[in-house]
Amino acid sequence: MAITLQHLRQLKQQGQRFACITAYDASFSWAVAQAGIEVLLVGDSLGMVMQGQASTLPVTLEDMRYHTACVVRANAHSLIMSDLPFMSYGDERQAMESSAQLMRAGAHIVKLEGGAWLAPIISSLRRNGIPVCAHMGLTPQSVHVFGGYRVQGRGEAAAQQLLDEARALETAGAELLLLECVPQDLARTVTQTLNIPVIGIGAGPATDAQVLVMHDLLGIDRGLKPARFVKNFLTGQASIEAAFRAYAEAVRAGQFPGEEHSFS
């Protein structure tokens, strides 16, 4: 069965959690499908894990188009979400042209990073048949504005602002929200407030879904210290597909992430 946005909305209404993994090529995309993972993210994290860049900023639209096309050929099950890379959605026209390339490559939904200022862009994409996931909290394309990869939404004022902006993006037509590195209480409030499914990473256990970068989930860290929210699911498993299944089952059962993977 091919997963759709309608299906994800139903899961939220029924209180059932779902799983998302990044993948960037056909072989891993096939394994993601075999494991029954609901959402596959072609993330601009490919800049780091595939290209060895220090951040996601050097990733181009052509990189995203190429990897999206590779992934799509091997996966008829998951909803395929593709990242709009840095500087590819500065205004409505540019966002439309960039998203069209990813949708023509086979993406089902595009993801972009930011807050309330994206509302007109999201509305115009949706009017033109392009569903959008808004990525809030720690948005890696703004790492130099934040001065590093830091937890966002800490403190009452920042939390209220994030909640208000998330509401604004839902009203503008966002179909999904992805929350990265925010305190777990804030993620819970946002998840309970919004009608659209909320996917978390470093956002605690209360979101409707979880995402992990595939390499993190498989313990491939190139000697770097893994982030707090990462867990190696390959340990004790006989195959990569089994690791993907173990991750999805842990997410659906509410066993991952735990307190030790969350920020307070």
Interface residues with ligand KIV (CB under 6 A) are 22, 41, 43-45, 83, 178, 180, 201, 211, 213
Task: State the minimum distance, in angstroms, from the CB of residue 82 to ligand KIV.
Answer: 10
Q: Report the residue number whose CB is nearest to ligand KIV.
A: 43
The CA–CA distances, whole Å, from 249 to 42, 73, 99 equal: 21, 25, 32
Distant-in-sequence, close-in-space partners of 63: CB < 8 Å, separation ≥ 6? 44, 46, 47, 51, 85
Look at the block and give the residue holding tokens 């993972």: 37
Minimum CB distance to ligand KIV, residue 112 (Å): 10
Distance (Å, rounded) from C-alpha 162 to C-alpha 205? 18
Shortest Å, Cβ 101 to ligand KIV: 17
Q: Nearer to ligand KIV by C-beta: 196 or 211?
A: 211
Asked whether the beta carbons of 193 and 186 are under 8 A apart, the reply is no
CB of 179 to ligand KIV, least distance (A): 9
Compare residues 71 and 213 and give the one whose CB is closer to ligand KIV: 213
| Candidate list 38, 113, 165, 180, residue with the active-site label | 180
Contact yes or no for 71/26 (Cβ under 8 A): yes
Question: Which of residues 41 and 206 has its CB atom nearest to ligand KIV in the complex?
Answer: 41
Which tokens go with 46?
A: 């490919």
Q: Are strands 79-83 and 109-113 parallel, antiparallel or unpaired?
A: parallel
Cβ proximity to ligand KIV, 21 vs 119, nearer residue = 21
> 101 or 141: whose CB is closer to ligand KIV?
141
DSSP 15: T
Please confirm, yes or no, whether 38 is among the known catalytic residues. Answer: no
Q: Count CB-CB contacts under 10 A for residue 57.
A: 16
- Smaller CB distance to ligand KIV: residue 17 or 156? 17
Return the axis-axis angle of helices 92-104 and 119-127, rounded to nearest 10°. Answer: 50
CB of 41: closest distance to ligand KIV in angstroms? 6
**SS3 state of residue 132:** strand
Minimum distance from CB of 10 to ligand KIV (Å)? Answer: 23
The answer for residues whose C-beta is within 8 angstroms of residue 160's C-beta and 6 or more apart is none
Tell me the Cα Rg of the chain: 17
> Peptide bond preceding 85: is omega within 30 degrees of 0, i.e. cis?
no
Annotated catalytic sites, by residue?
A: 180
